[in-house]
Amino acid sequence: MKRKVLLMGASGSGKTSMRSLIFSNNPASLTERLGATIDVEQNHVRFLGDLILNLWDLGGQDSFMDSYLTTQRTTIFQQVGVMIYVFDVETREMGKDLEYFRDCMASLKQYSPDAAVFLLIHKMDLVREPRHLTFQKKKQELEEASGDTKVNIFGTSIYDESLYKAWSNIVHTLIPNATILSKHLNTFAGACNATEVILFERTTFLVIATSASSPSSPSLTPGSEDNTETEPLNPKRYERTSELIKAFKHSCSRVREEFRSLEMELYDFTAVLDEMTRNTYVLIIVHDPTIETAALKLNIRLARSKFE
Ligand code: GTP
């Protein structure tokens, strides 16, 4: 199954940078060397089992934008699953950016009315504190420009975990059986007596599903009442884990080692991160010191066939 994803926005807004970070395991510092994208760069990324992301990175220079909206309009905007539109938060040309954005939304509505729309207010690291005020102002501006189309808006930066949060939400909309996966993870969490179980995609380390109800839910796993006295779980833990593991994988590749799995036994919790299927990794968090990591690894092995 192939899902088409458009990555659009003005030239220099950061599209190719985020693609390289998420899909190629490159560090943020390398993005400064990226040249402008000429016309359209198409990539196929095998994501989960049969799911292939057909990612269209569309160069944002005006002449290309004009061509997408005229001669190439049908080709670009038909059969789109998700359109991601990136705005540089510091742009001096918001008027022009919004004009192109409105034209793209109109074309999308005509050729792919069911496509999901994600708007990223990008390079948030450049904004001086308080960032949330700038974000709210931009968000409102974008909602007004979107008219009656439902849009999902995120503030992002390649220098922190916010990019992983946005992209995890994006891929979540593309995975057909996400709710079933969450259900299986809940059962698996119960079997391991785990506080939480998280499923990551192998290459991107984006969160696919969690044993809690949604990828952004900060709540504890249902049925883990005995954990109510521990500290509340950090709401950014999923995207922080994606970011940290990606950085760790990059360090491993620099010393020519392959990342395989991770085990941690700390004072108040145990964590095991291991391969679940060909395309996924699973992270199990347990707050019960009597449970051995070997038992958790055995459980992963036994559950594998269910998740393939
Ligand atoms: P076109 O290919 O011309 O459409 O541009 P693009 O949108 O692909 O931009 P690109 O990814 O090439 O990024 C342009 C510059 O922005 C690069 O120098 C990146 O290092 C920088 N950049 C990307 N993301 C961020 C970010 O989150 N914060 C900051 N400070 N800089 C960023």
Question: How far does residue 259's CA lie from ligand 1's centre (Å)?
Answer: 28
C-alpha distance from residue 156 to each of 15, 171, 220 (Å): 11, 16, 26
Query: In sequence order, which residues have a C-beta less than 8 Å from that of residue 281 and are 6 or more positions away?
Result: 199, 200, 201, 202, 205, 273, 274, 275
Helix (H, G, I), strand (E, B) or coil at 229: coil
Nearest ligand 1 atom to the CA of 28 is 20
Edge to edge, the sheet with strand 116-122 lists: 40-48, 51-58, 2-9, 80-88, 116-122, 152-156
Nearest ligand 1 atom to the CA of 158 is 27
Tokens of 155: 């503030």
Residue (of 102, 104, 98) closest to 121 by Cα position: 98
Whether 60 and 9 have beta carbons less than 8 Å apart is answered as yes
DSSP annotation of 69 reads T
Ligand 1 pocket, Cβ-based, cut-off 6 angstroms: 9, 11-17, 31-32, 34, 36-37, 59-61, 122-123, 125-126, 157-159
List the pLDDT tens digit at each of the 308 positions of the chain. 889 999 999 999 999 999 988 887 776 666 666 777 788 888 888 887 788 999 999 999 999 999 999 999 999 999 999 999 999 999 999 999 999 999 999 999 999 999 999 999 999 999 987 899 999 999 999 999 998 899 999 999 999 999 999 999 998 888 888 888 889 999 999 999 999 999 999 888 999 989 974 344 444 444 444 444 556 778 888 889 898 888 888 888 788 888 888 888 888 889 999 999 988 999 999 998 889 999 999 999 999 888 87
DSSP-assigned beta bridge partners for residue 51? 48
- Which bin fits 9, alpha (ψ -120 to 50), beta or left (φ > 0)? left
Nearest ligand 1 atom to the CA of 156 is 27
Regarding an ipTM greater than 0.95, the answer is yes
Question: How far does residue 182's CA lie from ligand 1's centre (Å)?
Answer: 34
Q: Which of 6, 15, 17 to mutate to test ligand 1, by most ligand atoms within 8 A of the CB atom?
A: 17
Q: How far is the C-alpha of 177 from the C-alpha of 278, rounded, in Å?
A: 17
Question: How far does residue 59's CA lie from ligand 1's centre (Å)?
Answer: 11
